Structures are given as C-alpha cells and as structure tokens.
Amino acid sequence: MPLYHSSAAVLGFFHCFEAEAAFAIGRKFSTKTYWKDVRKYNATIIQYVGETCRYLLTAKPELDPATGENLDKKHNVRLAMGNGLRPDVWARFQERFGIESVAEFYAATEGFIGTWNLSRNEFSQGAIGRCGFLIGLYLNSKVAIVERDPETDAPWRDPKTGMCRQVPRGQVGELLFVLPPDMTQVFQGYYNDAKATKSKIIRDVLKKGDGYFRSGDLVSWDPEGRVYFHDRIGDTFRWKSENVATTEVSAMIGLHPAVEEANVYGVQLPHHDGRAGCAAVALKTTLDDAVLRSLAEHARAKLPKYAVPIFLRFGEGLSTAITGTNKQQKHNLRVEGIDPAKVGDDELYWLKGDTYVKFEKSDWDRMNGGQIKL
C-alpha cells in the first residue's frame, strides 16, 4: 500500500514504530514477489487492503526451483491484518497459505468509530467486527443501522412521523454515527467542501433535533454480535423490484474456476426501469463459447434470478478500475454502461438463453429504439 493511505501509515508503520518492531514495505505490490519479500524479511504479520488477498489466492503456487516443493506455507506469518477481505476469500486464503488468524477491521478516515474482528475460527469468518454485551450497550448509544429507501438511496422515513426506522438484528441497513449537538467537536467536515459535508449529515433520524453522520455503508449486526459489510450505497442497485448487492454477486462470480476477477455494477438501460447487472471480468483462460456457457450456468446456479448479471464486459476496463490501494472502482464503468461507443476496445456480451453472446452495436440501437425488453 502507498504510505499516504491511513491504513499503511497509521495501522502499519506507526504501530510498528510504537511497538519498536521492524516494518518492511515493498516497492510495489506484485503476486510474484510478495511471498519472497515475506520470507526475506521474516515477517510474522502481513497487512492487506481491498483485493490484496484475493490477488494472492488466484496466483499460481510458487515452487522451489531446486526441489519443486510448494512454498505457499513456507513462511512465519501468524496473522493477516487489514480491511476489505471478502468472505468468499477468507477461509480459502487462510487454508492455502497456512495463516492462523485474521484481524479484519472497519473504519473511515472521516468517521470516529471503528469495529474489529480478530478471528481464529469459523464463528466470525467474514465479519468486519465482533461486539460483546458491554461494547454492544455502548455502541447502541453511538450508532444506528437504519432502513434504506431503495428508490432514493437515503434512509427511509415514516410518512406519518418523518422519522427513520432502525432495522432488527441481522437485517441490512445503512450505518449511521451519532453526532453531538456541537458537531465541530467531532466532525469538522471536508476541507473546503461544504456541499460534501452537508451530504454526510442527516437530521431528525430517531428523534427531533438529533444528528447523524452517514457512512454510506450497508451493514448488518447479528444477534451474536457479528457485524457484516454488505455493500456501498450507490453500488447496490435495484432490478426487477429487487435489491442487488454487488459485493455478493462479485463473490459468487469470482468462485468460477475460469474467473480471475469480477467487478459487478448496475447499468441504466434505455426504456427500462432500474439498473441491469453487468460484470467486468478478467479471465484466467481464453474466452470461448464453452467459458461463456459455463459462466451462465454458474451464475444461475449460485445466484437468484434477478441477481444474475445480464451483461459481461471483457478487456482493459477492469484493470483500469482499480485504486492505488487495490480497491475496485465502479463509477466510470457505470457511466460507460453498455454503449459500445464508450467501452473502447472492451467486448460486451449479454445473456441469451443458456449462454452469453456478443452484444453488438445493432443490439444497442434496437434497445435505444425500444425494440428490446429485458
């Protein structure tokens, strides 16, 4: 990670500095050199962010050039710490590389509460936090998970009272943080951006006059104290009157043996309500009819009908939609949509029958003309 990122600087470097421990950082992230560096510097803790662990998991095993021995578990790492480890990757990453524990956290630079999950077993795998009884009592006074209005992406409000509604334990809602009456004590806002600051503050949530900071994250908090991340608001889209979580669809598509990476997002279609699912996919193998048919079968077997991606995109679009901290971006992909004139040299396919077939400009023209209804 770049050291300008708070995870690398605060949780990485400064924690090592305070503990008087050695801190090693590579020149850049590469699956070919990562474990070599881990062994070279005798690391006992590694830090990840975003898609780091999934990239390592999809890489081919490293073999000893002299003996041919698999070196995946030839290291001294006992703990992987970071944020953004996908639930579908979690256990497989631990098993393949022999990682004893995972420490997953959730926080935001502009927020003032974080969650933490030190996981050594299956009980809390995939959770971004784990809260016992006492911390649960404290958090109940500091946060609220409220129902989301799928039409506006804002917290839902009761037509009679105008108040928001907290979701029951285990259900998904937007995470809000309580703000004090004098908000400058805790949240000073975004530098020179009053509009962005205002968009993050919501009033009259659970009672008149209160104020909350909107995280923009959809989470759930189950009866056993585990907190799970589901999606970012804006990434979740609505199709066929159902809410589709992009992270969950990405996880299922990513389980296909031919898929190296999948970035799922919703695209607006002419003469259609809602947004249709599209997956920008990077493959481990050559794209052919057998792979396209297998992808369709896999998606239908793993996902509800409304969540199966209608469109697939192959090419450079996925690789250019990655941040400096290995997080997927969706904005430009959503803007380009499925207009062949906007996706450059990338290829588009759409679901027809039991397979995906090439989506041509003529198909786009017919859709614009209202001749196609999905």
- Are 146 and 155 in contact by the 8 Å Cβ rule? The answer is yes
**Per-residue confidence (pLDDT) for residue 130, from 0 to 100:** 93
Q: Please report, to the nearest 10 degrees, the dihedral formed by the alpha carbons of residues 246, 252, 255, 258 taken in order.
A: -70
- 8-state DSSP, 322: B
The 10s digit of each residue's pLDDT in 327-339 is: 777 878 888 999 9
- DSSP class of residue 157 equals B
CB 106 within 8 A of CB 115: yes
pLDDT digits (tens, 9 = 90+) for 147-156: 998 778 899 9
At residue 281, the 3 state secondary structure works out as strand
* 186 residue type, one letter: V
What confidence tier does 321 reach under pLDDT thresholds 50, 70, 90? low
285, 305, 320, 58: CA torsion to nearest 10: -40
| CA-angle at 100, arms to 217 and 322, nearest 5° | 40
State the helix-helix crossing angle for 289-302 and 246-254, rounded to 10 degrees. 130
**Per DSSP, which regions of 222-258 are E strands?**
226-232, 237-239, 242-244
46 conformational bin, left if phi > 0, alpha if psi -120 to 50, beta if neither: beta
> Considering Cα of 202, then 186, then 5, then 93, what sign does the dihedral take?
negative
* pLDDT (0 to 100) of residue 43: 96
Q: Considering the chain, what is the average pLDDT of its residues?
A: 90
Farthest-apart Cα atoms in the chain, separation: 74
Q: What percent of the chain has pLDDT over 90?
A: 59
Amino acid, res. 2: P
Closest CA to 108 of 213, 182, 191, 181: 213
Q: Which pLDDT score, from 0 to 100, does residue 191 have?
A: 79
* Amino acid symbol at 55: Y
**Rounded Cα distance, 162 and 116, in Å:** 33
Q: Is 308 left (phi over 0), alpha (psi -120 to 50) or beta?
A: beta
Sketch the domain layout of the chain as residue ranges: 6-106, 134-231, 234-368
Task: Please report which helix (H) or strand (E) contains residue 262, including its range.
Answer: strand 259-268
Contact 29, 77 (CB under 8 A): no
Work out the pLDDT band at 240, boundaries 50, 70, 90: confident
Helix residue ranges, H only, 98-205: 133-140, 194-199
> Tokens 């105008």 identify what position?
162
In CATH terms, the fold of domain 6-106 is: Rossmann fold (3.40.50)
Per-residue pLDDT averaged across 282-305, rounded? Answer: 94
Q: Which CATH superfamily is domain 234-368 in?
A: ANL, C-terminal domain (3.30.300.30)
What are the residue ranges of helices labelled H in the chain? 6, 15-19, 34-40, 52-58, 87-97, 133-140, 194-199, 246-254, 289-302, 331-336, 361-368
Question: Is pLDDT of 184 > 70?
Answer: no
d(CA 291, CA 173): 36
**How many angstroms separate the CA atoms of 272 and 289, rounded?**
28
Looking at 176-185, 298-307, 351-360, which range is the least confident one?
176-185
In this prediction, residue 77 carries a pLDDT of: 97
Q: What is the pLDDT of residues 86-134, one digit of tens each?
A: 888 899 999 999 999 999 999 877 777 789 999 999 999 999 999 988 9
Handedness of CA 116, 29, 21, 76 (dihedral sign): positive
> Interior CA angle at 123 toward 49 and 89, to 5°?
35
What tokens were used for 367?
């859709």
**Residue 323's pLDDT band (cuts 50, 70, 90):** low
Q: Residue 206 pLDDT > 90, yes or no?
A: yes
Q: Domain 134-231, CATH 3.40.50.2000 — does that match?
A: no
Q: Residue type for 56, please?
A: L
Q: Cβ–Cβ contacts within 10 Å for residue 205, how many?
A: 22
Q: Is the pTM for the entire model greater than 0.85?
A: no
